[in-house]
Amino acid sequence: MKKLQLLLLVAAALSAAGKPASKAVGANKLLLISFDGFRWDYDQDVETPNLDQLVLDGVKAKYITPPMLTMTSPSHFTTITGRWVEDHEVVHNMMYDSKTNQKVSHKKTLTRSEWWDNGVLPLWITAQNQGLKTASFHFPGGGANYSGQAVNRVLVEEFDHPDDNETEWRQNVDTVLRWFSEEDFHLVTLYYGEPDNVGHAKGPDTEDRKKIIRQIDRTIGYLREAIDRHSLTDSLNVIITSDHGMTTVKKRPQVEEIILNKYLNLIKLASFEILDYGGFGILTPRPGKEQEVFDSLSKAPNLTVYHKDQMPESFHLGKSERLPPIVVVADLGFNLNSRFIVYVNKGDHGYHNGEMDMKTIFRAFGPDFRRNFVSEPFDSVHIYPLMCKLLQIHPAPHNGSMRVTEPLLLPSGEHNGSMRVTEPLLLPSGGSQLTAPVSVTLLLLVIFTVL
């Protein structure tokens, strides 16, 4: 009889673990801010007193490695899902269909659910399913529906939205803080399009870029003041990060720019292409022409061409069903021009995520974070489980590990509220990670010991 009672107890515990959790009690709120294109070292040649103060009052990573693809939408979706690009399948800023040659611009893609909703749930939806209120303010992916569910509150960036209006930046800060203080939102993601736009238009090594970093620093100072004004200092954690870095584009006469049509007849050999988009390109060869396309592109200088299924495992791209068979990655600073040199950007990204110019920032502060702590670099995929722990929710399957970011947090008992520990259960290499409450695992050990 005793054994039967114990087995029933185990069954009840496992059943509860599989159900959506009720709203976390005692969890602090979370604001995730992304400054697009903020390279890891942008604050090192500019006076940034507010960012410097964040290091004293919170935590900093030496740098963050974005996923391979170092583009806005793929990288942001890795942050908000904790999944590699080959798993979440947002493989480009542009929605496309290689079979029909359909291509949709980046801004229009932001509201196309069929591009974002691929069976992977972003943090907004996972949190909502566990009783929390969430919002997205211009954050990539926030404007889509996932399995029929929408984010509780969404503002999507308009096509012609100006990215550098400092007054509007402050208004946006006040808006999201009111959502926390007056409407009891638990998670808000806030996106700014700078310094990416300035980096593209003027280049990363210019006075214009330094000017926008000073503006970002002033905005961080305003954020700190506004948090105190809204009485959120003791209940709001803030993470500030980005999606990728930026590098100076190499142009004639300093270098021989890449024109791919010199090495293969694109019309004759390719049925679909996205080129002329910085340092990353994709092609679908015509039937029977894949090897010819590969061999021809391999003769071009300053780039590396891959068969999709032969890309390095570290790219975490090879399993993607959306990517075409041929992937081209330019050397740092080179653009992939298809037929003519039409690219005007002075700075760009999309290059190998191992390049230091592609690395980005991580800062965090709030009641659950340590103070005056600098961590070693880590991949952006690990931000997701950290956010789940801060919100005290069960993560969806993900590729990150809480072990990487645990040192950023105050030791147990030194922060507000109690944090329920959830650690990843590792699947075989290449698989995802699942999480389970430690209490269930301990219960099983006790039961089997008794039996």
Chain-wide mean pLDDT for the chain? 89
Residues comprising the chain, all counted: 451
Tell me what percent of the residues of the chain surpass a pLDDT of 70: 86
Burial of 319 (0-12, 13-18, 19+ CB in 10 A): middle
Q: What is the rounded CA–CA span in Å between residue 91 and residue 110?
A: 13
Spatial contact of 158 and 2, defined as CB atoms under 8 Å apart = no
**Positive or negative torsion for Cα 361, 323, 113, 336:** positive
Q: Do residues 160 and 294 share a domain?
A: no
From the list 48, 65, 70, 72, the catalytic residue is 72
Tell me whether residue 435 is in a domain.
yes
State the Rg of the chain over Cα. 23
Residue 103 has φ and ψ, to the nearest 5°, of: -135, 130
Which pairing describes strands 59-61 and 373-375: parallel, antiparallel, or unpaired? parallel
Taking only the tens place, the pLDDT of each residue in 328-375 is 999 999 999 999 998 789 999 999 999 999 999 999 999 999 999 999
Q: Is 72 a catalytic residue?
A: yes
Q: What is the rounded CA–CA span in Å between residue 32 and residue 121?
A: 17
Half-sphere exposure for 315 (CA within 13 Å, toward CB):
20
Three-point CA angle 259, 264, 265, nearest 5°: 100
Tell me whether residue 13 is in a domain.
no
Q: Do residues 236 and 302 share a domain?
A: no
Other Cβ atoms less than 10 A from the Cβ of 27: the count is: 23
User: Which H helix or E strand runs over 192?
Assistant: strand 187-192
Mean pLDDT over 399-410 rounds to 98
Residue 445: its pLDDT value, please?
Answer: 38
Q: Do residues 92 and 145 share a domain?
A: yes
Q: Do residues 337 and 360 share a domain?
A: no
Query: Residue 336 is encoded by which pair of tokens?
Result: 């992939």
Q: Do residues 302 and 377 share a domain?
A: no
Spatial contact of 303 and 226, defined as CB atoms under 8 Å apart = no
Q: Supply the pTM of this predicted model.
A: 0.88
Q: Do residues 224 and 309 share a domain?
A: no
Number of domain units in the chain: 2
Segments forming the whole domain that contains residue 45: 22-246+354-439
Between residues 109 and 5, which one has the greater pLDDT?
A: 109
| Local confidence band at 413 (pLDDT 50, 70, 90 cut-offs) | low
Residue 25: its pLDDT value, please?
Answer: 59
Q: What is the rounded CA–CA span in Å between residue 425 and residue 259?
A: 47
- Helix (H/G/I), strand (E/B), else coil: 57: helix
Query: Residue 307 is encoded by which pair of tokens?
Result: 């068969």
